[in-house]
Structure 1
Amino acid sequence: MVGLPLYVLPLGDERTASSRARVYALLPYLQKAGVDCRVLSPYDPEALAPVLDSCAKTPTLIIQKRLLDDRWRHRLVRAGVRLVFDLDDAYFAYAPTESPDRPAHRLRVAARRRHLARMVQASAVTVCGNAFLAAYAHRLGAKAAVIPTCLDLAAYPQKAPAPPPAVPVIGWIGSATNLPYLEVVRPALSALCRRGVPFVFSVVCDRAPDWPDLPVRFVPWTASGWSAALRSFDIGVMPLFSDDWARGKCGFKLLEYLATGIPAVASPVGVNGDIVRHGENGFLAAASGEWEACLERLLVDPALRRRIGEAGRRTVEERFTADRAAAQWLALLRQEGFT
């Protein structure tokens, strides 16, 4: 499939979770299929200049979750560049660290919504991580396709079999902007702690939660250490609020647990309910009592942890691998004549 060059502007480098899953993991498969992928520096303010200078008559540029300013967007459109916008977050909603009660946050979200709408409407197609985001693009009259977030399984070796630990580790991995979600699971952890159920809560992040009342183990996230930290978990959790920002999430954290063979408990919000079959390959918990019950079942039953973890790994192998996502991208590129 040799054709026109395909430029890609990622949100960040491979330390950025969404870029790692939605760009860098797919590149080997696209290049093997003959696509001339040219990845631009995510940190160079003039990174888009080569696209404008391209010898291709109508170059194609995939923009991964970046809201270009009006200057660059207008220059690209005037030059005839075909834009493909990749979106895996509900930028039109309030993030967990934002509140409509704060004027500064209202202004910030309003500006983000304007830029997002312009990006979607300027793009030939918006590739969305889930149907909720695609519905937003459709409401703007834009063309949208759904390609879920997938993982390069080679980067997720399974947790090695080992004797059950005396004190199991419940874990969460993510960025500090998502720490507010841990308040969803905190009452259940507190209840388990009061009842004397042994566990350690491991948080792999760039900032530790301030929870002096609970047995929290903070592990700083590093590019070289996150994988080993993930495999140290015996149970993974993905708590979410039930709001539009959470409904726009694409299950990356949950898929990381499942790919590693770690049984997971997640809020039944957005794609989590599509990924998890409750009691088969994971557990879904809404109310605090449900979180407590699901976590306790897994904490006291090593055989259940192993069975659920194995089923979770199979789920990723069957539905959420990078080669599957790359095949969907190739089909879209062919269909739209982008290469």
Structure 2
Amino acid sequence: MKILFIIPYPPGESPSQRFRFEQYLDILKQRGHTLYLAPFLPPQRWRLFYQRGNTFARIGMIFRGFARRVGLLLSASQYDRVFIHREAAPVGPPIIEWFLAKALRKKIIYDYDDAIWMTDKINESTLERTLRWRSKVSSICRWSHKVSCGNEYLRQYALRFNANAILNPTTIDTEGLHNPSVQQPAAKDSHQIVIGWTGSHSTLKYLYLLKDVLLQVQEKFPEASLLVIADRPPEFQLPRLIFREWSPETEIADLMTADIGIMPLPDDEWSKGKCGFKALQYMALNMPAVASPVGVNTTIIQHMENGCLCRTDDEWLAALEMLIADAELRKRLGRAGRQTVIDRYSVSSNTSTFLSLFE
């Protein structure tokens, strides 16, 4: 089978892509499938596009991206399946998706891992809202052969438009990548207890929800520090804040220096679409995850069995203080968390579900 992957970002550049489908590509090839990955922009232009400023240059790159998509349609007839991650283009109506489904009669596997029919931006302009055209998600679901959904909340949305919506959780490679038995942590002070958070600039705002709690923790525990792994540093200060710029080459080693992983979220509709990826990363590395009880987090984590769920500041403070003070509890929750990921959220446990998308 020949499979066309229409993707927003160049391969290897986006965690969403890496953990939704890229880690399964070798398995597809081993099954005899031929794959072609088509990002909206090539790597060098993609990096320029996401730099601040250069508005006119970015507009030009969007037109180039659309030109690439039109060129792709000319060769799309040769493919047996078309896998679309999130959207074919970052702006405008779903013209590419419509042409593939209606004109070329292609069987589309549509994959998404966020509630991308809405936004979490509070002050989004009318222009941006119009350009993003988020209503296209329902149309693409309707036109697709199958819809691959990262959690049950996302699946319930897709079921409104397509009965063939499949729960395909975001998964972790617990053997070759998120495996503390084969990875070496970066250097750290052995006397420190490190609370870790990893993400991007777009999700740093969720970390800010815990600023006061983290300050109280550091005031009580001089050995406690906060590790932030992201593409830019947070916009707040703590007495002991460690920033590591995110890189696919160093993320695991940097994250393994943490003793506790945190995933705060607001309790809103957008957050219900999150797929628990941060918590899964921590758990896969034998690290106790402390998360907000929002969306899929309540499915992944059973409180005090394989992690902690905290809603209020008092609950967050109590959980972090307890874990800092009790090394054995950290180990017990960390081991249980890793086993949860291996059993239910690993590449090996989910391979059959992923392959079924192409049947």
Cα separation, partners in 2 of 1:250 and 1:105, compared to 1, 3 Å:
farther
Asked whether the equivalents of residues 196 and 227 of structure 2 are also in contact (C-alpha less than 8 Å), the reply is yes
Paired with 1:230 and 1:116, the residues of 2 have a C-alpha distance of 34
**Residue 143 of structure 1: aligned partner:** 164
Structure 1 residue 71: deviation in Å? Answer: 3.3
**Residue 247 of structure 2: aligned partner:** 222
Deviates more, 1:321-330 or 1:229-238: 321-330
Paired with 2:240 and 2:168, the residues of 1 have a C-alpha distance of 38
- Match 1:11 to one of 8, 11, 23: 8
Paired with 2:201 and 2:76, the residues of 1 have a C-alpha distance of 39
After superposition, the C-alpha distances for 1:169-189 in whole angstroms (9 at most, x for unaligned) are 001000000011012222221
Structure 1 residue 143: deviation in Å? Answer: 3.2
Structure 1 residue runs without a partner (length 5+): 335-339
**Residue 74 of structure 1: aligned partner:** 98
Amino acid paired to 1:25: Q
TM-score relative to the length of structure 1: 0.88
Amino acid paired to 1:115: K
Alignment of 1:243-282 (within 5 A): 243-282=268-307
1:318 equivalent to 2:328? Answer no
Deviates more, 1:21-30 or 1:115-124: 115-124
Cα separation, partners in 2 of 1:168 and 1:297, compared to 1, 3 Å:
same
Structure 1 residue 48: deviation in Å? Answer: 6.7
Asked whether the equivalents of residues 115 and 273 of structure 2 are also in contact (C-alpha less than 8 Å), the reply is yes
Q: Percent identity?
A: 31
TM-score relative to the length of structure 2: 0.83
**Residue 112 of structure 1: aligned partner:** 133
Structure 1 residue 281: deviation in Å? Answer: 1.1
Structure 2 residue runs without a partner (length 5+): 43-64
**CA-atom RMSD, angstroms?**
2.5
- The one of the two structures with greater contact order (alpha-carbon pairs below 8 A, sep at least 6) is 1
1:25 equivalent to 2:46? Answer no
Paired with 1:82 and 1:163, the residues of 2 have a C-alpha distance of 50
SS state of the match for residue 258, structure 2? coil
**Residue 168 of structure 1: aligned partner:** 193
Paired with 1:43 and 1:195, the residues of 2 have a C-alpha distance of 48
Amino acid paired to 1:63: I
Asked whether the equivalents of residues 40 and 88 of structure 2 are also in contact (C-alpha less than 8 Å), the reply is no
Amino acid paired to 2:208: E
Cα separation, partners in 2 of 1:323 and 1:27, compared to 1, 3 Å:
farther
Cα separation, partners in 2 of 1:79 and 1:223, compared to 1, 3 Å:
same
1:157 equivalent to 2:179? Answer yes
1:301 equivalent to 2:322? Answer no
SS state of the match for residue 7, structure 1? strand
Asked whether the equivalents of residues 127 and 144 of structure 1 are also in contact (C-alpha less than 8 Å), the reply is yes
**Residue 232 of structure 1: aligned partner:** 257
Asked whether the equivalents of residues 164 and 302 of structure 1 are also in contact (C-alpha less than 8 Å), the reply is no
Asked whether the equivalents of residues 120 and 142 of structure 1 are also in contact (C-alpha less than 8 Å), the reply is no
After superposition, the C-alpha distances for 1:77-122 in whole angstroms (9 at most, x for unaligned) are 3111221110100012222xx11xx360685178432222222222
Asked whether the equivalents of residues 90 and 249 of structure 1 are also in contact (C-alpha less than 8 Å), the reply is yes
Deviates more, 1:36-45 or 1:312-321: 36-45
1:61 equivalent to 2:82? Answer yes
After superposition, the C-alpha distances for 1:248-289 in whole angstroms (9 at most, x for unaligned) are 011111111111111110111111111111111111111001
Paired with 2:315 and 2:257, the residues of 1 have a C-alpha distance of 24
